[in-house]
């Protein structure tokens, strides 16, 4: 029973971070209608920013959120503005080419980081990296609990932004009917910049939150892109609330898979779920709410 509860707790804690990763991707999917296959690589760049601040100046990883998020927001805006939107203007190019472009962007980001930081494993070990506390027999990792807390706050902030502000509403409106949105005076191009920037900042936040407990090397992006994609498919493509459920589901599935099946299967579990969902529950957990 304790093993079960322990697995539940660690899966849920990890799921909070996965939700953050998935929300970033699903936001982009909802507005631009594309799968951003550079999502994990963008997160990886955010992690290197956090690592650099830590290694060079001793900045606490949590504090570096204030740098990594805005920096990666700008990176996202730049990618959308100068690499993705120009493709829309060329009429001969298929919409799928935007997705191919994100693959290219992902590769370039990976190789640039390899050039700067080499392929060596990096980490940002802090005094609290291995700290735990116990409730009964169940242990809680201190950094993961902090991560979950921050992830929840960011999720709430994102929802307030999408529901309460005109810009947030404009993002949702553009996702639902682009042409009607432009009749309302919404500049669709500007919305695409903001959305890609926001989605990127969210995944950068997740990467930064992972730094105290995780290791970092340039090729870490790819697996996270795949995870993000699985989360979005679980949640229903383009659904923000779905991404939260998708993230937590994936976190739990990985934890239970690692505990009860075998450690090596952790990464495979997500992909198996992915196939099962596509086969038996196309559409994922979408439509629980409309955001």
Partner 1 sequence: MLKVEGLNVFYGDMQALWDVSFEVRPKEVLVLLGANGAGKSTILRTLSGLSCAAEGSVTFNGVRLDQIPADKIIQHGLVHVPEGRRLFPDMTVEENLIMGSLAPEPKRRRQKTLERVYGLFPRLRERMGQYAGTLSGGEQQMVAVGRGLMGLPKILMLDEPSLGLSPLLAQEIFKIIRLINSEGVTILLVEQNVKQSLKVCNRAYVLENGRITLSGTGEQLSSNDHVKQAYLGI
- 176 touches partner 1 (CB under 8 A): yes
Cα 201 → chain centroid: 9
- From 183, 263, 264, 280, residue interacting with partner 1 (rule: CB under 8 A): 183
- 166 touches partner 1 (CB under 8 A): yes
- 165 touches partner 1 (CB under 8 A): no
- From 116, 156, 160, 180, residue interacting with partner 1 (rule: CB under 8 A): 180
Query: Taking the alpha carbons of 206, 243, 28, 91 in that order, is the dihedral positive or negative?
Result: positive
Measured from the CB atom, the residue of 142 and 188 that comes closer to partner 1 is 188
Stretch that binds partner 1, among 18-26, 137-145, 178-186, 193-201 (CB under 8 A): 178-186
Nearest distance, CB of residue 142 and partner 1, angstroms: 39
- 185 touches partner 1 (CB under 8 A): yes
- 291 touches partner 1 (CB under 8 A): yes
What crossing angle do the helices spanning 2-32 and 166-176 adopt, rounded to 10°?
80
Determine whether 80 is exposed, middle or buried from the number of CB atoms within 10 Å of its CB (0-12, 13-18, 19+). buried
CA pair distance 254, 163, nearest whole angstrom: 32
Stretch that binds partner 1, among 79-87, 123-131, 171-179, 248-256 (CB under 8 A): 171-179
- From 118, 130, 139, 187, residue interacting with partner 1 (rule: CB under 8 A): 187
Nearest distance, CB of residue 185 and partner 1, angstroms: 4
- 91 touches partner 1 (CB under 8 A): no
Nearest distance, CB of residue 13 and partner 1, angstroms: 31
- 186 touches partner 1 (CB under 8 A): yes
- Which stretches of the chain bind partner 1, using CB under 8 A? 166, 169-170, 172-173, 176-177, 179-188, 290-291
């Amino acid at each position: 029973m304790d093993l079960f509860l322990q697995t539940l707790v660690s899966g849920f804690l990890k799921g909070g971070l996965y939700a953050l990763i998935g929300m970033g991707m699903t936001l982009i999917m909802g507005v631009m209608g594309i799968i951003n296959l550079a999502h994990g690589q963008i997160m990886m760049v955010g992690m290197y920013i956090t690592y650099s601040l830590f290694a060079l100046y001793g900045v606490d990883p949590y504090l570096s959120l204030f740098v990594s998020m805005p920096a990666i927001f700008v990176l996202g805006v730049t990618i959308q503005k100068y690499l993705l939107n120009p493709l829309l203007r060329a009429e001969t190019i298929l919409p799928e080419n935007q997705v191919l472009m994100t693959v290219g962007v992902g590769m370039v980001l990976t190789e640039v980081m390899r050039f700067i930081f080499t392929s060596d494993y990096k980490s940002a070990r802090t005094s609290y990296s291995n700290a735990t506390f116990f409730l009964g027999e169940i242990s809680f990792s201190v950094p993961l609990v902090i991560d979950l807390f921050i992830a929840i706050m960011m999720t709430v902030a994102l929802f307030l932004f999408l529901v309460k502000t005109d810009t947030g509403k404009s993002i949702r409106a553009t996702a639902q009917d682009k042409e009607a949105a432009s009749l309302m005076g919404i500049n669709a191009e500007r919305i695409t910049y903001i959305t890609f920037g926001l989605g990127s900042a969210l995944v950068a936040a997740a990467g930064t939150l992972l730094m105290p407990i995780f290791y970092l090397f340039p090729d870490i992006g790819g697996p996270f892109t795949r995870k993000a994609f699985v989360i979005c498919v679980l949640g229903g493509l383009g659904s923000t609330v779905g991404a939260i459920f998708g993230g937590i589901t994936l976190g739990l599935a990985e934890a239970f898979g690692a505990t009860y099946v075998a450690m090596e299967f952790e990464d495979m579990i997500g992909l198996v779920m992915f196939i099962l969902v596509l086969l038996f529950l196309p559409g994922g957990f979408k439509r629980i709410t409309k955001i």
